[in-house]
A and B are shown apart, each in its own frame.
Chain A
């Protein structure tokens, strides 16, 4: 009876079990038209690169000649990252078409669900104002996420650098560093920041406290009294955790009128770049010089 056996397999035995089902590299490579030894050597050294024993540059130096002779010119091996440190990845931004927005608040609801924001906190709100007087009347809906400003007032004032600007354009908060002074909330011209007072929906909704908000892709386990992010400031981060796995922010995905567009402002051919160049485009409180990354179409 295995259950009562005193002999437990050692870690090495587990390893052997895995090795038993692995294909034999040599045999597999034999079947390909290319050099078997080169493949095996490269695999061995690649492991060393990963373990940090060999520099990636040296790896390329050793193998580039044999690779070219084996695979021809269309495979030129070299270090993949360019030498200059300039960031070339995406710089995220959002365009919201106000003509398409019907003020249904779907974005607000989906944001709350996605980011599990407590009562009284909403990363995204839809501001409604009535313009004109009867009978010439119209309602303006203005969805307001965090603008992810390029010159963010909140980052400027944060005494601990807990609020900071990421290379991808998003303004993030390190809740483990934030002291909860709320200076950033006072400084943000768009009212985009909220303080986590530690309250929750547990009474109306069983399981609310089971997981903390998945923000920034961090798994913080259960939401508990006195545990971060309680006592710190939170805000929209363009659903950074969703971007990391290739999904759009929740508000963009659920918008029923397709009023929201999301993409890379670094790429001149992206939809958002093209829309932002439209004469309808404007940004909120442009005069403050915060340079928001959320562009509205009027």
Chain B
């Protein structure tokens, strides 16, 4: 019983298998269709019309794509930090989500970079941002951090999978086997020494990765906004920390959602203890975030600074306020917190999943509120007040990229041994 396929065999009966196939086909079909639509929109808008295809203006130069860019950066940093629990700190109880957290960190990062690439006015000049380094520019640092971070993620995922890849290169046939052979550099056997080495390397990478993800990638991305003294609402030392917290929130929520949904669809047993523990973590992060946000608003409003007050007023009372109350405060804060606090709901996998999905959706609003409101408030009295909603072209592109994100993730799951070998977890798992 050395391959996963054999191991899973008894769990499936023929009916489930059939249903799986149609489900999977639909999944691929819908995602590809949406993705193609997105590609069309990118060609039609971004390539042929440039930025004039968006609702962006000189008063609101950043919009939806920047919001989604930081959304996915957050997802990535959060997922990665979760994976370090396993590979950095050796918390075996989370082993089952380790690789998929790494994979989602990579995929989120790719998606984030695609979003921000689409937001550039001159994609043909993009390499200037790598060639010319402005040491005082947070964005310049970020671009370099992202590259290092992505390399680190890929290396780490590779090392965690190496043993299974070697197995796969032997058991699979044809082209697939060739690919696996190339991936493992034709290595035939995974000795215990190799395993030990990999584990050590993983630990080191995890330890380098933690500060890189926290301070470099995520705190740094938060600093891109926090350093803007022209935007008093963003210009606070707490801002990057809130940014990191909402990364942890969305990363944890994503890990829960992926794990539970995947196992539900495949009709596999769910490790309830782990899901509950993750739910508890999510609640903890949410509470800390709420506390930080409270101080952000308290101190911000206490300063009585004109622009800061105007931004807060805009967020909480204007025509955009639904995004603050419903998404940021509701979906990404109060609703999941309530679910995770009430005794009855916090014990149930389904409720925890609901809380996770709410958070994932709500954080989109959180990210929009970080970007747009402070840009709408004019910098000088008399300058025009901005107005921004993403237009149809921006939405189609966005949805297309979301589909791309899911597609890459699914391909990754299909081709790579993302799920842990089941033999190792039989002991700890507790079935629903």
- A interface list, Cβ under 8 A from B: 120-121, 125, 127-129, 142, 144, 153, 155-162, 176-183, 185-191, 193-199, 226, 228, 230-233, 284, 288
Contacts and interface: CB of A to CB of B under 8 A. Distances in A.
B134 to A, nearest CB: 5
A189 to B, nearest CB: 4
Contact of A186 (B61, B125, B133, B134): B61
A186 B62 contact: yes
A157 B137 contact: yes
Interface of B: 49-52, 56-59, 61-62, 119-122, 125-126, 128-129, 131-134, 136-140, 143, 224, 227-231, 375, 378-383
B42 to A, nearest CB: 15
A138 B25 CA distance: 70
A160 B122 contact: no
Contacts, number: 133
Tell me the interface secondary structure of chain B in the complex: loop
Contacts of B378: 191
Contact of B121 (A125, A153, A182): A182
A22 B128 CA distance: 49
A156 B121 contact: no
A186 B382 contact: no
A181 B139 contact: yes
A161 B136 CA distance: 10
A179 B228 contact: no
B138 A181 contact: no
A187 B380 contact: no
Contacts of A194: 58
B375 A186 contact: yes
Nearest to A140: B382
B383 A160 contact: no
B71 to A, nearest CB: 18
Contacts of B52: 197-199
Given A161-B133, A186-B228, 9 more contacts: A127-B383, A129-B381, A157-B136, A159-B140, A160-B128, A181-B129, A185-B61, A186-B231, A191-B378
Contacts of B229: 153, 189, 288
Contacts of A156: 136-137, 227
Contact of A195 (B121, B134, B379): B121
A178 B122 contact: yes
A160 B121 contact: no
Contacts of A191: 59, 378-380, 383
Nearest to B231: A186
B140 A226 contact: no
B134 A160 contact: yes
A176 B350 CA distance: 54
Nearest to A164: B134
Contact of B129 (A128, A129, A159, A176): A159
A65 B375 CA distance: 67
A14 B381 CA distance: 64
- 5 closest A-B pairs by CB: A180-B121, A127-B382, A231-B121, A189-B230, A159-B140
Contact of B62 (A155, A161, A182, A228): A182
A153 B131 CA distance: 21
A160 B140 contact: yes
B338 to A, nearest CB: 36
Nearest to A194: B58
16 contacts: A121-B58, A129-B381, A142-B382, A156-B136, A157-B136, A159-B129, A162-B132, A179-B128, A180-B125, A183-B224, A189-B229, A191-B59, A195-B61, A230-B121, A231-B122, A232-B122
Given A121-B58, A179-B122, A183-B224, A162 B128 contact: yes
Given A194-B58, A231-B122, A129 B382 contact: yes
Contacts of A197: 50-52
B230 A177 contact: no
Contacts of A231: 50-51, 121-122
A226 B121 CA distance: 10
Given A182-B62, A186-B375, A158 B137 contact: yes
Nearest to A176: B125
A231 B124 CA distance: 10
A298 to B, nearest CB: 15
A286 to B, nearest CB: 13
A35 to B, nearest CB: 53
A182 B134 contact: no
Contact of B126 (A129, A179, A186, A226): A179
Contacts of B59: 191
